[in-house]
Chain A
Amino acid sequence: MKSPKKHDFDETDFARAKAEIGGIAKQSGALVWGVAAADAFDDAPEGRRPFDLLPKAEGVLVVGGAQPRAGDWQSPNYQHMEVTTTSDRIHGLALKLARVVEDRYGYYAVCVPPGVDHGQQPFMSIAMAADLAGCGSKSLAGPVLHPEYGFMYFGAIVTTMPLPADSPPGTPACPAPECVEMYSAEGLTPCTRVCPIESGGCLGGRIEGGRIVERQYDQARCATRVQNYWVPGFQKVLGETLREKDSEKQKMMLYSSMFSRTLWSMTYSNVSQGQCAECMRVCPLGRAHRTRQ
């Protein structure tokens, strides 16, 4: 049996340990990583802070990556993205790093679950953690965006290890200079134009002095577009199917493409967590990484 090595660290070792963990994260596929101070989550509701998940938490280690590949963005079959882009890979990496923190350094580590807790609320906002750890910043489109890579998935580990904390980026990644320019000319950015809230879309906002000063995001409307085939889609189609009085029609509904896809999307097949990525498709951040020959 393997025995975990539990070292006693002094203060000066934590910076080195942080670099080691970052090295493992990058070697394992993370594009970005950082540490948020556990006491920096002032904006999070009670019950959803690092201390609520792990007593005596000192920091939140954040890793980001596993974003759709350049080829994924190019596929003319939009359903391809539904099936192949999920947060699974980055969550697996976060689980691995939690083990590294415990086995190599002897500190408690808890991987923040990617799903939702009571009332459809996340256990802890991984987006907020990513922002506070300097892995990106909130965007007009919704996701936390990295200045170089743009959209990606994040995983977070709450730990009692006092790793030196990073800070949120001084200059937010969003809006990108191109978007500021476009907003000045048209009053819209690429993302707010592709899904305008005033025309039945989900996004809106204002930019002043090159910064976001107002953001409008219709989360409920977005969910009806992004999650047509997943738990919400299944619940919707189940209700309609049960209300159908004609048994022949009901049978057709049960075996329909819609119902089949909702079931596929809920299983381990990793199908269809999200079915709309249009606001990210037009985002200039990370475009270089979405572009190949």
Chain B
Amino acid sequence: MKSATNNAVNEVTLESRTEQVKQFALGAGANVVGVADPRAWEEYAPEGHRPNDILSGARSVVVVGSRGPTAGAWRSPNHRLMEVNGYDFRNDAAIHRVADVIESEYGHQAIQAPGLPTGGHLPPMSMMLSAVLAGLGTRSLAANIILNPKYGLLYYSACITTLELEFDHMLEQDVCPHQMCVQTFRRFGKTPCMAACPAEEGGCLDGSIDEQGRIESSFYDRERCVSRAMNFGINSFQKALAQIVAEEDQEAQKNMIHSDFFSRSCSAITHYKESVAQCFECMRVCPIGRAERKLK
């Protein structure tokens, strides 16, 4: 595989090399894959959060998207099941394999782009922006989630590499709002996602659609959403721990430590990957990708 193969693969055209990498990503578990130009970040991301800030000499960013919950999980009446099965990290596994093959087969540097917060609550590199720049989706009215035209909700990971690949373009057509949502907005003043979680009634979402059927404005109450979507996870663990430490009554403290709530908060941060999120309602009503969730 090593040097001989490297010479062979270096001789292939940019187009076929890009296709090879994409096919490998799809075989590794990705549902969609695209390639973005690292220079495109300069227009959208602040300094320190661009591909070249993370890997010097970056020439391409490969972005993969994978489905989260199965169609069956969306149908389960036990909402806890989605909390646990909502995310299987397949996109991370796929992008690691992509990075491996770029280094071993093409002899170029490749790293997984860091998408989780390392300081404050900001990630070093936005996976949402990566997906948009790689032409995999566009921002939506539903919590700014990047929706793919075929699958709707996807989870994204990216690989920054010094390998030169052919770039994809950003989607010209907005994925959100769906035609059905434009119609419901014109009739009721709300899209399905806004109706499921209306900001003016204690929910998280609001917005408007212009005459051309495009998003005119959008409002997303992130803090409120976090308090609903992440009841069990690092946030709840920190919250519960603060209350436990402050409790002066030893018996009450013991009860709090062994409570169902704290146990579930602990489980949520374990390797069981429980409860990454506990609210999917804006996505449940989204028509984009519904065909993929409709089975027998």
- Chain A interface residues toward B at CB < 8 A: 1-2, 4, 6, 47, 52-55, 86, 88, 95, 98-99, 102, 106-111, 113-120, 123, 158-161, 230-231, 234-235, 238-239, 242-243, 266-270
**Do B272 and A114 touch across chains, with their CB atoms under 8 A apart?**
yes
Cβ contact within 8 Å between A239 and B253: yes
The docked-state distance in angstroms from the alpha carbon of A4 to that of B150 is: 11
11 further interface pairs, Cβ-Cβ under 8 Å (given A113-B84, A235-B263): A53-B76, A54-B75, A108-B71, A108-B72, A108-B295, A110-B85, A113-B272, A160-B72, A231-B266, A267-B269, A268-B273
- Per-residue contact bits, chain B 123-156, to A (CB 8 Å; 1 contact, 0 not): 0000000000000000000000000001100000
**Complex CA distance for A162 and B85, rounded to whole angstroms:** 23
Within 8 Å of chain A (Cβ to Cβ): is B262? Answer: yes
Q: List B residues 260-296 near A (Cβ within 8 Å).
A: 260, 262-264, 266-267, 269-274, 292, 295-296
CA distance A235 to B270 in the complex (A): 13
Interface size class of B (residues with CB under 8 A): 35 or more
Provide the bound-state CA to CA distance between A230 and B270, in Å. 9
Flag if A115 contacts B271 (CB, 8 Å): no
Q: 8 Å CB contacts to A: which residues of B239-264?
A: 244-245, 250, 253-254, 257-258, 260, 262-264
Whether the pair A266, B270 counts as a contact (CB closer than 8 A) is yes
Chain B residue with the shortest CB-CB distance to A161: B296
Produce 1/0 per residue, B103-138, CB < 8 A to A: 000000000000000000000000000000000000
Does A267 contact B270, Cβ atoms closer than 8 Å?
yes
**Complex-state Cα separation, A108 to B85, whole angstroms:** 14
Report how far A55 CA is from B71 CA in the complex, Å.
Answer: 12
**Taking each of B244, B264, B270, which has the highest tally of chain A beta carbons within 10 Å of its own beta carbon?**
B270
A161 to B78, CA, bound (A): 19
B13 interfacial contact with A, CB 8 Å: no
Are A270 and B70 in contact (CB-based, < 8 A)? no
Question: What are the residues of chain B within 8 A of A1 when measuring CB–CB?
Answer: 31-32, 150-151
Nearest A residue to B149 via CB reads A1
Q: List 12 A-B contacts (CB under 8 A).
A: A4-B292, A102-B71, A102-B72, A108-B70, A109-B72, A110-B85, A113-B274, A118-B260, A160-B296, A231-B266, A242-B245, A268-B270
Please, which residues of chain A bring their CB within 8 A of the CB of B195?
none
Q: Which residues of A lie under 8 Å from residue B244 when comparing CB positions?
A: 238, 242
Closest approach, in angstroms, between the C-beta of B259 and any C-beta of chain A? 9
CA gap between A55 and B253 in the complex, in Å? 40
Contact B274 A102 (CB under 8 A): no
Tell which of A99, A116, A119 touches B70, judged by Cβ atoms closer than 8 Å.
A99
Q: In the complex, what residues of A have CB within 8 A of residue B150's CB?
A: 1
On chain B, the residues within 8 Å of A267 by CB distance are 269-271
A102 touching B70 by the CB < 8 A rule? yes
Contact of A106 among B70, B250, B296 (CB under 8 A): B296
**Measured CA separation A160–B151 after assembly (Å):** 21
* Residue in contact with B254 in the complex, picked from A108, A159, A239, CB distance below 8 Å: A239
Q: Say yes or no: is B202 at the interface (Cβ < 8 Å to chain A).
A: no
Measured CB to CB, the closest approach of chain B to A95, in angstroms, equals 5
Across the interface, do B85 and A111 meet the contact criterion of CB distance under 8 Å?
yes
A1 to B244 CA separation, bound complex (whole angstroms): 49
